[in-house]
């Protein structure tokens, strides 16, 4: 019994003699092992999801919500599409200005068709009949784009407003979108996207407004807002 107790005491003493750095290395090794195991499980889940995604089709994306970044996100997809040699069509409703950075840049790209279809915000025009006529004239242009199989991506910037204000018939818009070429992608931006449009979409993102510089009296900035 005495020998056994002495052995245990010696063992404990030896444990206390282990350098701190050895304990640190062991802990680091355990963290690395757990990290590898966690990442391996994550990889297996992602690989399985990629394997299941075996369909290919033109997507309908809706970018809505009160936060900043809806149009900016769509313009980012334009850049991505151009990088793949795709042809892009842009139709801007509501906005009437032609001095934005995105238009200045993308109009120079040979694979981009750019239409500014608006006459300004409704509080500027204050003319229901005129706004309705402008929107419907613009949609006639979009209908031609939606029938063009050479356009791989179409961005309908701020389309939700003409729909919301009743300038365009939602059922007719959805019908035109439904009958577009099979591999044509469409991105729709704007606040207050109607539920039926979101239901028809493949991907819907809602931008949330947390903080905005204009509330602090800061003007729209080139390269950021226009």
Greater model confidence, 123 or 43: 43
Task: State what percent of residues in the chain have pLDDT above 90.
Answer: 58
Residue 69's pLDDT is 95
Per-residue model confidence (pLDDT) at position 17: 55
Query: Residue 186: what pLDDT?
Result: 98
Whether the CB-CB separation of 82 and 109 falls below 8 Å is answered with: yes
Res. 122: pLDDT tops 60: no
The answer, yes or no, to whether residue 121 has pLDDT greater than 80, is: no
In the numeric block, which tokens belong to residue 99?
A: 């001095």
What average pLDDT does the segment 217-225 reach? Answer: 86
| Chain segment 6-53, per-residue pLDDT in tens | 655 555 555 555 566 667 777 778 888 888 888 899 888 888 878 887
pLDDT at site 216: 87
Asked if pLDDT for residue 173 goes beyond 90, the answer is: yes
Cα 155 → chain centroid: 12
**Banded model confidence at residue 89, pLDDT cuts 50, 70, 90:** very high
Mean pLDDT of the chain: 88
pTM here?
0.80
């Amino acid at each position: 019994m005495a020998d056994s107790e002495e052995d245990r005491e010696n063992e404990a003493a030896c444990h206390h003699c282990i350098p701190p750095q050895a304990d640190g290395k062991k802990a680091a090794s355990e963290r690395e092992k757990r990290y590898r195991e966690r990442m391996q499980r994550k990889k297996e889940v992602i690989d399985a999801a990629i394997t299941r995604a075996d369909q290919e089709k033109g997507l309908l994306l809706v970018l809505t919500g009160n936060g900043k970044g809806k149009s900016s996100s769509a313009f980012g997809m334009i850049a991505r599409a151009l990088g793949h040699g795709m042809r892009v069509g842009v139709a801007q409703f509501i906005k009437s200005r032609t001095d934005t950075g995105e238009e200045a840049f993308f109009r120079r790209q040979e694979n981009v068709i750019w239409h500014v279809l608006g006459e300004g915000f409704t509080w500027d025009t204050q003319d229901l009949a005129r706004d309705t006529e402008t929107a419907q004239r613009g949609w006639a242009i979009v209908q031609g784009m939606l029938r063009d199989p050479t356009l791989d991506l179409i961005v309908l910037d701020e389309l939700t407003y003409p729909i919301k204000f009743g300038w365009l018939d939602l059922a007719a818009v959805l019908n035109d979108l439904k009958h577009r070429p099979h591999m044509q992608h469409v991105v729709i931006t704007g606040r207050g996207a109607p539920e039926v449009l979101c239901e028809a979409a493949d991907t819907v993102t809602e931008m949330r407004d947390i903080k905005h510089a204009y509330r602090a009296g800061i003007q729209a900035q080139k390269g950021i807002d226009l």
